[in-house]
Amino acid sequence: MSGRGSFRVAAVQATPAYLDRDATLGIVAEHVTRAGADGADLVVFPESFVPGYPDWVWRRTPMDDTDWYARFQEQAVEVDGPALDEARAAAAAAGVWVALAITERSSSGTLYNAVVYIDSSGDIAGLHRKLVPTGAERLVWSNGQGPLLTVVDIGGVKVASLICWEAYMPLARAALYQKGIDVLLVPTWDNSDVWGPTLQHIAKEGQVFVVGVTAYLRGCDIPRDLAGADKIYGDTEDFLSRGNTTIVAPGGEVLEGPLIGAEGTLTATLDLDRIAAGRRLFDPVGHYARPDVLALTINTTGDNDD
């Protein structure tokens, strides 16, 4: 009897054209084209890659960032608009899926930390919004409103995302395990030493493949026409994000990475049969579950787009 086969993932650790949506989407298209030529089935990008992660919220006085926020809001992505056309065309031409982490601007102007899925025909196939922004991120991003905990099916492979510290939410992870995911994408800004072990823990807990993707960004990448940029950012040695991209197999084996201190793309061919093999010993929603003692209810009543 034949197995489930394999699934090739490309995790892109790149530098965005910071707070420049269109230029960054051009970078996205270039990476999608290259990954497609390398045989990828899915290309994954770091947290808020378009138009860039709002790092200044951790460095400036709270709310003293009017021009920074205005630029960020202006350069955010309206998913239903034409902004994603270049990335969609690249996905269709390459015949690959893309999981693009963005700052999404809703029709009302509210910003969400999100992942938009583009399928191999260039169509928008799904959207996930981060449930809770972390700490100072709440100055720019709203709590996610539906769609939440989205699972997409890529040729029989179930894929979902938890963004950065959203992955530390046990019930969010359990909800995705309950939905039967095979691959968990974790676009992040976390550069800490404990992040890699976190990804390994999740891979073993869920017996899933985990793809953690981080950006590479330095002070010299920050536009100097933003007020006070020279005061809070240095040059090439001032790392906003050194990168921490890692791909982990069910059970916790690190397949690729961590990639630290440079741009690059980590590519791995995922042997999908490893999922069932791992769940023979530990299946968190199967034989290792005790629904008579513990049960999870997922509330979908608020899962509506605005």
Active site residues: 47, 130, 164
Placement of tokens 């963004």 in the chain:
163
Total residues found in the chain within this entry: 306
| Secondary structure class of 38 (helix, strand, coil) | coil
Separation between Cα atoms, residue 161 and residue 167, nearest integer Å: 9
Chain Cα centroid distance, residue 20 = 19
Backbone φ and ψ of 27, nearest 5°: -65, -40
Tokens of 186: 């974790």
Buried b (16+ CB within 10 A) or exposed e, 140-159: bbbebbbebbbbbebeebbb
Left (φ > 0), alpha (ψ -120 to 50) or beta: where does 39 sit? left
In 74-216 the beta strands, taken as DSSP E runs, fall at 97-105, 111-118, 124-129, 151-154, 157-161, 183-188, 209-214
CB contact set of 280 (below 8 Å; sequence gap of 6+): none
In the block, residue with structure tokens 């006085």: 61
Q: Are 149 and 126 a contacting pair, CB within 8 Å?
A: no
Cα separation values, 240 from 15, 56, 189, Å: 11, 9, 9
In angstroms, rounded to a whole number, what is the distance separating the alpha carbons of residues 78 and 51?
12
